[in-house]
Structure 1
Amino acid sequence: MDYLLANTPLESLSTECLIVAVFNDIKLSPAAQNLDSLSNGVITDILQRGDIKGKVADTLLINYLPHAAFKRALLVGFGDADKLSAKTYREALNAAAKALKSSHISEAVCCLAEINLAGLNATWNARQIVESFDAALYQFNHCKSKPADKFSLTSLSLHDQSDSDAIQTGINQGIAIAQGVALAKRVSDLPGNICTPTYLADQALEIAAQHANLSAEILEEAEMQKLGMGSFLSVSRGSRQPAKLITLEYKGADADIQPIVFVGKGLTFDAGGISLKPSAGMDEMKYDMCGSAAVLGALQAAAQLQLPLNIVGIIPSSENMPDGDANKPGDIVTSMAGLTIEILNTDAEGRLILCDALTYAKKFNPDVVIDMATLTGACLVALGRVPSGLLGNDETLCNDLFNASETALDSIWRLPLWDEYQDQLKSNFADIANIGGRDAGTITAACFLSRFTKDYQWAHLDIAGTAWKSGDAKGATGRPVPLLVQYLLNRAATA
């Protein structure tokens, strides 16, 4: 899909379809007013007939426009102009993308960046347009003998004459984010027999090869053993697939600038180990590596945008399978940090690989560390599929992430990380247990990780409810790539 800037006068454009906004009470956006004039009042006539009300996400495709140079027009409803929010704007964009997705239109001009939103600008508008259309056109065809027919739409031009530079910046950001999301979706949607730890490592090497200031390093199990990563390696023992510790390093600032470190859980399949998961829905455990996919997508986007930051992505990757050599409930392992861990449930393995990765992160002298993981079903129960869970040990970092989530429309909600919860992780036989019982499962999981993050500013994103969808719409969402890239854009703006 090509995204272009169109800054010539509307009356000079020729396109298969012009996309314009309409509002409640027969109100038209500036571009819709222009189109109405060029078509001798056709748009007003249609609104007066009630064929489209102007409600949020209403769409109407007009297939014939007399007296205009446009073959078609797509009217998109945005509700009350004075009550429009960022979320309703995105909802309307999604509806527009869906309408064109099902059409035979190959190229269109979009005039929706001109809409005014309080506290936001044309760059944000343009970025949202690109993200929305790219998400709507995503297809997973990698494992189909007969791929689905490609969508007709291959080119979308964003029209604006007032601030072309801002629109072009938004297009560039939108493309980088959309491609990062698409990468995260594709890798996550692949089955576990294809997307193995080795496959993830190869993806990191491939991404690094495409960008001069991006490098990758892969640690094998023997090297991890020398580093004392007994917790991480205990998880991989039950699998025939060797574990990998993947590091992507982006250098966009001076070498003495401390890096932002992302850590992503990379369980390419999680059967639960000896504490075997129920069979129903176990196929979705290929998505237990969505945190690692988000790290890949965010690092790729940062490199495309050439952000003036230093960023490190760390991906501990393994499978969690039942086997004669697998972890057993009651086993005690020693982490890289030297803490001993009693494994009361082998299905709480994500924290076992993350804790060693979080200890490894210290070698980079990080400014901040943000980990993301499909860590607990308890987060889905508590928050549903709308926000990801946020916990952390630093107010500024957590606030910065929350602000980025509001801008990116990639919602998060903060949960407490109080000392009282730490008592649930007590063990009679080791320094710490790997589960804390039924109560506050998301919080106690973060409490476990917090034992390994005392030396730096740290935040944890539990994406168990947001990284993929189930049911008829089953598939990866690519979250939290938009949140991570927005956080990086905000940091870059103050660098």
Structure 2
Amino acid sequence: MNFEFQKLSLSHAMTASVDAMVVLWPSQVQPDTQAVEPVSRLLAQAIAHGDFELKAGALLSLYSQPGMAARHVVVVCSADNQPGQIRSAMQAAWVALKAGKIKRLGLHVVGEASVQGLQMALSSLADASYNYTTTLSKPKARMLKQVLVSATHDRAELRQAVAQAQALVAGVELAKEWANRPANHATPTHLAETAKSIASGRAFKCEVLGPKEVAKLGMGAFMAVAQGAAEPLRFIVMRYNGAAASQAPVVLVGKGITFDTGGISMKPAAEMDEMKYDMGGAASVLGVFKALGLLKPAINVIGLIPATENMPDGLAVKPGDVVTSMSGQTIEILNTDAEGRLVLCDALTYAERFKPQAVIDIATLTGACVIALGAVRTGLFSSDDALAMQLQHAGEASGDTCWRMPLDDAYAEGLKSRFADVANVAGRAAGSVTAAKFLQRFTKSFAWAHLDIAGTAWRSGAAKGATGRPVGLLLQYLLTAAQATPTAKSHGKSKAAVKSGVKSKVKARTAGKA
């Protein structure tokens, strides 16, 4: 999908060569009954006859009207242009249009277009029109290929917003692709190959460690999870170097359990197929790196992905086993289905060597977080108030929201063990918090945040599939950090690369497949 930005009035937008046009109309702009251009006039007539109200989600569908080049024109009210309102408006518009074989779509924003509004509109449109095809015998090609974005005002930040939306969609759709793939099409080896293909540019490096290298590092917790799997583990280290080598990097750690049976503590059969999504954290790291390659911000980022299956083989780790983590801390494994924290704790210890400015781990970690926050907000846990606030602000700005949860020391009481330094689970109460408290033990040397995406990384039911979250939140955080970092000012080359992607035509292609 390609995005293109042009400065056009509403009347000129109606003459654009597109199959369909979506007009986002905020409630504070009143249509003109005497207007020369037809959309405003028809909308005013519909309001006058009580057939349309300027309220969120209201939709007026027009077909082959005089003065409109597009066969289909949909006017949809975006109310106050809040992110949720724009998302709902774009979803409603696509439902009205998707049967019309739309390949080239126009999107015109009435009134004062905002950076946040444009990004939300485009990402929502991409989400609504996305379809997974990889393992279908007769896949249907994606219908929508191009979007012409137009607004009355032409500002540099609007063009940059379109470029950022292009990169965001590329990253989100790559994350969706890999999280949606069945486990036999998304093994640890497959993830490693994809990471290498993403990190093939001049600013990138990628190293993949196998079982021997991981054993040499002493990653006993990671190896314990992997020892029951026939598929060999992979520890993926991705580097994006967009700033001076002296600038401390941000480290992203993505949980990469490519299939989770629960191990010896096996999960019930119902909905176990969804455990292919248990590498949603890893998929989001891959997606972020895809977007970084398109935007080229002045920041250094490390991506760490401990990837393995969690299987109930005869060699699998057993409840009650004690293993030694890379940090030297011993762990009593009371439940083998609490494996995500075991692979993450060794990756967090590995992150220390980069002397990071911040470390953020991303994981489909606990069902308890789903109970607490549902599918609306990602659970945020952090030992650093400034980092937590930055992530919260990034979530609000991107529409990929999170909510900070507590980390009181009293929550760690249930992790005490008579037979090791720590147990890998506590009781059922506050399960997402005790999981975060376990991870916190391995993060004392750096600012750290944990994003529990168990409720937000995928949808169940009829719309089953990966969401690509929290790529939007992470990308917004990194772009903001790049602008705020003093050393970034000396790296005009990287910022110029960002600006070069915001010309009137943004031709970077989104990645449905690696």
* TM surpasses 0.5: yes
Partners in 2 of 1:33 and 1:106 — Cα distance? 31
Match of 2:137 in 1: 145
Letter paired with 1:369: V
1:50 aligned residue: 50
Q: Does the CA-based 8 Å contact 2:81-2:117 persist in structure 1? A: no
1:17 counterpart = 2:20: yes
Q: Which residue of 2 aligns with 1:87?
A: 84
**1:100 counterpart (92, 97, 101):** 97
> Residues of 2 paired with 1:105 and 1:326: CA distance?
51
Query: 2:108 matched to which residue of 1?
Result: 111
Partner of 1:370: 360
Q: Deviations over 1:67-115 (max 9, x none)?
A: 4555442110234xxx542321222122223333332333232112x44
Aligned to 1:411: 401
The structure-2 alpha-carbon separation of the partners of 1:402 and 1:9, relative to structure 1 and needing over 3 Å to count, comes to closer
Q: Please tell me whether residue 316 in structure 1 is matched to residue 306 in structure 2.
A: yes
**Higher RCO (CA 8 Å, separation ≥ 6 residues):** 2
**What residue in structure 2 maps to residue 189 of structure 1?**
180
- CA distance in 2: counterparts of 1:96 and 1:480, whole angstroms: 24
Q: Residue in 1 aligned with 2:240?
A: 250
CA distance in 1, matches of 2:368, 2:101: 44
Instruction: Give the direction of change, closer, same or farther, for the CA distance of 1:268–1:11 in structure 2 (3 Å limit).
Output: same
Match runs of 1:268-279 below 5 Å: 268-279=258-269
Q: Distance in 1 between matches of 2:24 and 2:352?
A: 50
Answer whether contact 1:19 1:76 (CA < 8 A) is retained: yes
Partner in structure 2 of residue 61 of structure 1: 61
1:381 to 355, 371, 384: 371
1:321 positional shift: 0.3
For residue 231 of structure 1, give the secondary structure of its aligned residue in structure 2: helix
Q: What SS class does the counterpart of residue 78 from structure 1 fall into?
A: strand
| TM-score normalized by the length of structure 2 | 0.90
Instruction: Report 1:462-473 matches (<5 A).
Output: 462-473=452-463
Give yes or no for the alignment of 1:38 onto 2:41. Answer: no
The residue that corresponds to 2:495 in the other structure is: none
8 A Cα contact 2:10 2:108, kept in partner: no
Deviation at 1:10, TM superposition (A): 4.2
Deviation per CA, 1:15-37, whole angstroms, max 9, x where unpaired? Answer: 3433223455xx646xx659952
- Seen in structure 2, the aligned counterparts of structure 1 residues 36 and 326 have a Cα distance that, compared at 3 Å, is farther
Q: Which moved more, 1:195-204 or 1:127-136?
A: 127-136
Given that 1:36 and 1:42 are in contact with CA atoms closer than 8 Å, whether structure 2 keeps it comes out as no
Percent identity over the alignment?
44
Answer whether contact 2:2 2:166 (CA < 8 A) is retained. no
What's 1:167 paired with? 158
Is 2:366–2:452's contact at 8 Å kept on the other side of the alignment? yes
How far does residue 428 in structure 1 lie from its aligned partner after superposition? 0.4
| Aligned-partner Cα distance in 1 for 2:314–2:412 | 32
Describe how 1:272-351 pairs up with structure 2 within 5 A: 272-351=262-341
Aligned 8 A contact 2:10 2:37 in 1? no
**d(CA) in 1 for partners of 2:89 and 2:384?**
36
Say if 1:261 and 1:311, in contact at 8 Å, map to a contact too: yes
Aligned partner of residue 41 in structure 1, secondary structure: helix
- One-letter code of the match for 1:38? E
1:124 pairs with 2:116 = yes
Q: Distance in 2 between matches of 1:394 and 1:350?
A: 22
Question: How far off is 1:168 after superposition?
Answer: 1.4
Aligned residues: 481
1:439-481 per-residue CA deviation (whole Å, 9 max, x = no partner) reads 1110110010001000000000000111001110100000000
Structure 2 residue identity aligned to 1:55:
K
Cα separation, 2, equivalents of 1:372 and 1:362? 17
Of 475-484 and 126-135, the range deviating more from structure 2: 126-135
Question: What is the SS of the residue equivalent to 2:183?
Answer: coil
Preserved contact between residue 5 and residue 164 of structure 1 (Cα < 8 Å): no
Secondary structure, aligned partner of 1:140: coil
User: 8 Å contact 1:35–1:43 — kept in the other structure?
Assistant: no
| Contact persistence 1:263–1:369 (CA under 8 A) | yes
- In the aligned structure 1, how far is the partner of 2:104 from the partner of 2:263? 50
How does the TM-score come out when normalised to structure 1?
A: 0.93
Alpha-carbon distance in 1 for matches of 2:34, 2:59: 16
Counterpart in the other structure of 1:207? 198
Decide whether the 8 Å contact of 1:108 with 1:156 is kept in 2: yes
Distance 1:86 1:385 in 2: 16
CA distance in 1 between partners of 2:458 and 2:179 (Å) = 9
Which deviates more, 126-135 or 302-311?
Answer: 126-135
SS of residue paired to 1:102: helix
AA aligned opposite 1:329: P
Q: Deviations over 1:182-206 (max 9, x none)?
A: 0000000000111000000001001
Distance 1:68 1:143 in 2: 40
Instruction: Supply the distance in 1 between the matched residues of 2:2 and 2:49 (Cα, whole angstroms).
Output: 35
Q: What is the distance in 2 between the residues matched to 1:148 and 1:101?
A: 13
Q: Quick one: which amino acid aligns to residue 474 of structure 1?
A: K
Contact 2:24 2:75 in 1 (8 A): yes
Q: CA deviation at 1:128?
A: 1.7
CA–CA distance in 1 between the matches of 2:54 and 2:331?
A: 58
Whether the aligned pair in 1 keeps the contact of 2:251 and 2:303 (CA below 8 Å) is yes
Distance 1:256 1:23 in 2: 46
CA distance in structure 2 between the aligned counterparts of 1:255 and 1:149, rounded to whole angstroms: 43
**Is the Cα–Cα contact under 8 Å of residues 33 and 41 in structure 2 kept in the other structure?**
no
Which range moved further: 291-300 or 32-41? 32-41
Looking at structure 2, the residues matched to 478 and 68 of structure 1 have their Cα atoms a distance apart, in angstroms, of 35
In 2: Cα distance, 1:70 partner to 1:190 partner: 36
5+ residue gaps, structure 2: 486-514
- The CA deviation at 1:59 is 2.0
- More deviation in 454-463 or 8-17? 8-17
**Structure 2 residue 127 is the aligned partner of structure 1 residue 135:** yes
**Deviation sequence 1:22-57 (CA, Å, 0-9, x none):** 455xx646xx65995223933322232333323312
Contact residue 43 and residue 52 of structure 2 kept, 8 A: no
> What residue identity is the alignment partner of 2:90?
L
Structure 1 counterpart SS, 2:449: strand
Q: Which moved more, 1:38-47 or 1:131-140?
A: 38-47
2:252 to 262, 271, 274: 262
Where 1:37 maps in the other structure, the secondary structure is: coil
Counterpart of 1:260, as a letter, is V
8 Å contact kept, 1:36–1:44: no
